[in-house]
A and B are shown apart, each in its own frame.
Chain A
Amino acid sequence: MFTGLWVAALLVILAFLVIYPVLMLLLGALTDTNPVVDGLSRSLSHLSVANFLTVLANPNVGEALLNTLIACGGGTAIAVAIGLFFSWIVVRTNTPFKGFIAAASILPLFAPPLVAGVAWAILGSPKTGLINTMFKWIGSDLRVDLYSMWGLVFVFGIYYAPYVYMFTASALRNMDPSLEEAAEISGASAFSTLFTVTFPLIMPAIVSGMLLSFIVMLGIYGIPAVLGAPTNLNVLTTYIFKLTNWSPPLYNTAAAVAIILMVVTGLLVYLQQRVLSGRSYTTVAGKAFRPRSLDLGPWRWFTFAIGMLYLLVVVVLPSLALIVAAFRKFMFIRDVASLFDMRQYSLVHFESIFDNPLTMRSIYNAVEVGVITAVVGGALAFAIGYTIHRTRVAGRGTIDLISTLPVAIPGLVVGVAYLWAWIGIPGGLYGTIWILALAFIARFMPDTVKALSTSFLQIHRELEEAAWVCGKGMLGTIRTIVLPLASPGVLAAMTLLFVLAIRELGSSLFLYTSNTMVMSVLLLDYYEGGNIGKTAAFSLVQTVLLGVLIGGANWLSRGAAQGNVARTG
């Protein structure tokens, strides 16, 4: 009786959080009515596939889709090359300081995409970009233009290489080194061993890292928004946002394009799961291998230099660019002397952003949303995780399925779905902090449940059964045994949620109002306002804030949060 009610309650909550918004999105894609003006009943009577087909036939949609595939495909190719190269350096060679290279090369995962985009706009814009300015100083005719497809591919590639790296590095670590030694003994050179034995063996890891980085790129808004806007280069995410910003907003078209994005993502997620669950050659359960490190001789300084170059490109240059732009009064830099002329620097941009009452409000709002998301989302994930992994109630399979569904829904699509779900309901959630929090809870549910499940699985069933035998009831057992034992995991999951919620942009874009403006959206506002100094200053504020939070989260959870921030982009 009680368990029936419990399962029903969870299913209702999940339906409310996930199923209802997705259905509304579908409805939006299949009608031509306005959710605000027309209301639900009129929308339902206008249901027809025709609207969706019209959108499909729209050449702009096709162009955005094509651009998306090119940008993500190109970016993924670069990411695979970089990720594979680095995992090999770190796991299989005697490159100096490889521990440092390993730690530093996953740093890009923590940079919010919008901040990365802004930094690379400052570096690589065709006219005023710092790189071109430097080329001019040294008298070179070389010019770069990152406001282009090439720029998008390049920035995608270098920032999402760590996704490939994480998969391939662990596959290499778990691979029996004698497989490679056998090849060498057989007469193969180190190079040919790499391509005939090593890479084919870790192919499943390469493919799933590749798919994951493609999936994450598909859902990114910040980078293409910055680099694509000047030349009107649209990808699906930026195009969807544009549609809702036209006047009148084209909510139906946006919903239809969002569905396309969701379907593509869903297919890729499905593929990735297939690859991951397929036979893996390299993992031998419970066997530890002696690390094998190839002596590169003098070449190890070359691999070291490449490692440093990567760090320079993804961490040092963008950080310097942001710092210079944030503290410099004017972005125009005539020569080298002017770059180091301290009179050109001031706190004026910081003063100006903090003079704007919206700035503090957005930080406050972001923290508030973060706290709600963490507490409510954490509790819900605990309930779901416990039900899935620790009980045998009927319906837990369905709960598992629905709670993992959002894996296949990009943040931006969650945003559009929630917009459709609530904008037409007067006096409802729309315009409150809660709609943001609920959207985040839904979006990050799979990751939270997964993070928590690991800590459940570490608690021995017998401990729990011992309490049952001692006459404790189910709730008593949870309170006295499970909760205390799982509490480090729960805490870690909540901190993770907090950090993810604070940096989320994609879904916030559609759900904020002037009262509920959050940090990430305000940063976009500053950027679109055209003042690079203020944008850079606010980027720095955000980055430092996030750095402190992620550092704290990592400290609290001893590393558990790291991999998970990574998974969600």
Chain B
Amino acid sequence: MTATLEVTELRKQFAIGRPAIDGVSFSVPAGEIVVLLGPSGCGKTTTLRCVAGLEHPTGGEISISGKVVSSPERGVLVPPRSRDLGMVFQSYAVWPHMTVRQNVIYPLKHRNISRADANRKVEEALALVGLSEYADRPVVALSGGQMQRVALARSMVYRPQLLLLDEPLSNLDAKLRLRLRDDLRVILKQTGMTALYVTHDQAEAVVLGDRIGVMRNGKLLQMDSPDAIYNRPADLFVANFTGATNELAGTLVTCNGQYGVVDFGDGRQGEVALFHELAPDQKVRVALRPENIAIGRPNGVNTFSAKVLDRRYQGTQTAYGIELFGKRLEAIELGTAARHQVGVEAPVSLPRECLWAYRDSGPVSHE
């Protein structure tokens, strides 16, 4: 029984400070995994807790499977236990005074389910997360990763309409995080559950999400497929947060539909991709991924001469600092060979579809 989640113009104002969530709208179709991605403090957890009913929104509407569960304007507020959803917490929140089985069977005890049925469901859930052999251990005797699996089993055992996950992997060590991340996607897809997943880790978001919403300062900036988030970021912040960390400033000279020509100063001009309406003579900022700078391979229109400032060999790739148009940029070249010497002048080419121009709206701080 999976369901759609509909969040409309959600607002949350705590007693002090600016709004933690400021007009967030999105929807999660049944069976889809949506990831909310953003830096710490941007309001992801608060959004999730509003959906869960643990936090009371101050504005907007939340409905699950078409039923409004929260609407302060209309005085509707369904308590968490009646929303039929599951939640996995960052701190695991498994109950240390119980065994694995007792933890997982707990939600079933608060529902009208026969003993035999409940036991069968617990076995199924434990098998799903790979903890069948651990059923009768006290949870405190488990590792962090296993505890998080218990939490997952506990939140899915009653097949809630919607599963909420708040940075479930962030307390685990790096290796385990990667494994559980892949397992998690398989498990979620296997059960076909609708899920809302919160993280600050872009790699996690890309692997897990059917769609990703990028948040900043309580606002949802873009909600799209991972592919679109990575290849057509809606603004400079999204571009930067998802890895396009290089930035060039310039002025738009001409534009023709999807592409335009930008003057980077001193008459050096290049072709760039345009995702939104821009007029000639507008100041723009251009975002660029380090991986998309090709050193020493003159190719196409955007070929310029740059100087290699420094070089950091990283095994399977090499990171370079280069100087282009009087600015320092990061470049990454894949491969186990470091091909360029520090100090040399080399041609670099920047493919126009990888140069994304955005309106220059003053300095942007990158958290």
Real binding pair: yes
- Report which A residues bind B (CB closer than 8 A): 176, 178-179, 181-189, 192, 196-197, 200-201, 203, 279, 281, 295
Q: Is the CB of B81 within 8 A of A182?
A: no
Query: Does any Cβ of A come within 8 Å of B86's Cβ?
Result: yes
Known: A186-B81, A279-B140, A281-B97. 8 other contacts (CB 8 A): A181-B87, A182-B87, A182-B154, A185-B81, A185-B85, A187-B111, A188-B81, A201-B97
Q: Is the CB of B93 within 8 A of A184?
A: no
Complex contacts, B91 vs chain A, CB 8 Å: 176, 178
1/0 contact string of B22-65 vs chain A (CB within 8 Å): 00000000000000000000000000000010101000000000
Q: Is the CB of A181 within 8 A of B54?
A: yes
Query: Does any Cβ of A come within 8 Å of B89's Cβ?
Result: yes
Q: Is the CB of B154 within 8 A of A186?
A: yes
Q: Is the CB of A186 within 8 A of B93?
A: no
- CB proximity of B75 to chain A, nearest CB, Å: 13
Complex contacts, B96 vs chain A, CB 8 Å: 201, 281
Q: Which of A181, A188, A200 contacts B89 (CB 8 A)?
A: A181
Q: Which of B54, B93, B107, B140 contacts A187 (CB 8 A)?
A: B107
Across the interface, name the chain B residue whose C-beta is closest to A200.
B97
* A295–B91 CA distance with the chains assembled, in angstroms: 23
- Given contacts A188-B81, A281-B97, whether A182 and B89 have CB atoms under 8 Å apart is yes
Residue among B91, B151, B154 with the highest chain A CB neighbour number at 10 A: B91
Q: Is the CB of A184 within 8 A of B81?
A: yes
7 A-B pairs closest in CB distance: A186-B107, A187-B110, A178-B93, A182-B93, A178-B89, A281-B96, A185-B87
Complex contacts, A192 vs chain B, CB 8 Å: 110
* A243–B210 CA distance with the chains assembled, in angstroms: 83
Across the interface, name the chain A residue whose C-beta is closest to B111.
A187
* A197–B96 CA distance with the chains assembled, in angstroms: 10
Across the interface, name the chain A residue whose C-beta is closest to B97.
A200
Q: Is the CB of B95 within 8 A of A179?
A: yes
Across the interface, name the chain B residue whose C-beta is closest to A202.
B97
Complex contacts, A200 vs chain B, CB 8 Å: 97
Query: Does any Cβ of A come within 8 Å of B106's Cβ?
Result: yes
Query: Does any Cβ of A come within 8 Å of B144's Cβ?
Result: no
Complex contacts, A184 vs chain B, CB 8 Å: 54, 79-81
Complex contacts, B87 vs chain A, CB 8 Å: 181-182, 185
* A183–B52 CA distance with the chains assembled, in angstroms: 12
Complex contacts, B155 vs chain A, CB 8 Å: 185
* A189–B81 CA distance with the chains assembled, in angstroms: 7
- CB proximity of B121 to chain A, nearest CB, Å: 13
- CB proximity of A151 to chain B, nearest CB, Å: 37
- Given contacts A197-B95, A200-B97, A281-B97, whether A183 and B106 have CB atoms under 8 Å apart is yes
State which residues 134-174 of B face A: CB under 8 Å.
Answer: 140, 151, 154-155, 158
Q: From DSSP, what is the main secondary structure of chain A's interface residues?
A: helix
- Given contacts A178-B91, A192-B110, whether A185 and B97 have CB atoms under 8 Å apart is no
Across the interface, name the chain A residue whose C-beta is closest to B157.
A186
- Given contacts A186-B154, A188-B110, whether A181 and B80 have CB atoms under 8 Å apart is yes
Complex contacts, A179 vs chain B, CB 8 Å: 93, 95
Q: Is the CB of B93 within 8 A of A176?
A: yes
Residue among A182, A203, A279, A281 with the highest chain B CB neighbour number at 10 A: A182
- CB proximity of A513 to chain B, nearest CB, Å: 55
* A183–B91 CA distance with the chains assembled, in angstroms: 14
Complex contacts, B95 vs chain A, CB 8 Å: 179, 182-183, 197, 201
State which residues 101-124 of B face A: CB under 8 Å.
Answer: 106-107, 110-111
* A179–B95 CA distance with the chains assembled, in angstroms: 7
A-B contact pairs, 7 of them (CB 8 A): A181-B89, A182-B87, A182-B93, A185-B80, A186-B81, A187-B107, A189-B110
- CB proximity of A281 to chain B, nearest CB, Å: 4
* A192–B106 CA distance with the chains assembled, in angstroms: 11
Complex contacts, A176 vs chain B, CB 8 Å: 91, 93
* A197–B106 CA distance with the chains assembled, in angstroms: 10
Q: Is the CB of A185 within 8 A of B106?
A: no
* A185–B91 CA distance with the chains assembled, in angstroms: 15
Across the interface, name the chain A residue whose C-beta is closest to B79.
A184
Complex contacts, A279 vs chain B, CB 8 Å: 140
- CB proximity of B98 to chain A, nearest CB, Å: 8
Residue among B85, B106, B140, B151 with the highest chain A CB neighbour number at 10 A: B106
* A298–B158 CA distance with the chains assembled, in angstroms: 33
State which residues 71-101 of B face A: CB under 8 Å.
Answer: 79-81, 85-87, 89-91, 93-97
Q: Is the CB of B110 within 8 A of A185?
A: no
Complex contacts, B106 vs chain A, CB 8 Å: 183, 186, 188, 196
- CB proximity of A227 to chain B, nearest CB, Å: 39
* A203–B95 CA distance with the chains assembled, in angstroms: 13
- CB proximity of A300 to chain B, nearest CB, Å: 15
Complex contacts, B140 vs chain A, CB 8 Å: 279, 281
* A181–B107 CA distance with the chains assembled, in angstroms: 12
1/0 contact string of B285-311 vs chain A (CB within 8 Å): 000000000000000000000000000
Complex contacts, B107 vs chain A, CB 8 Å: 186-187
- CB proximity of A71 to chain B, nearest CB, Å: 32
Complex contacts, B97 vs chain A, CB 8 Å: 200-201, 203, 281
Complex contacts, A189 vs chain B, CB 8 Å: 81, 110
Across the interface, name the chain B residue whose C-beta is closest to A193.
B81
- CB proximity of B204 to chain A, nearest CB, Å: 20
- Given contacts A200-B97, A201-B95, whether A185 and B111 have CB atoms under 8 Å apart is no
* A201–B52 CA distance with the chains assembled, in angstroms: 23
* A277–B111 CA distance with the chains assembled, in angstroms: 37
* A101–B243 CA distance with the chains assembled, in angstroms: 53
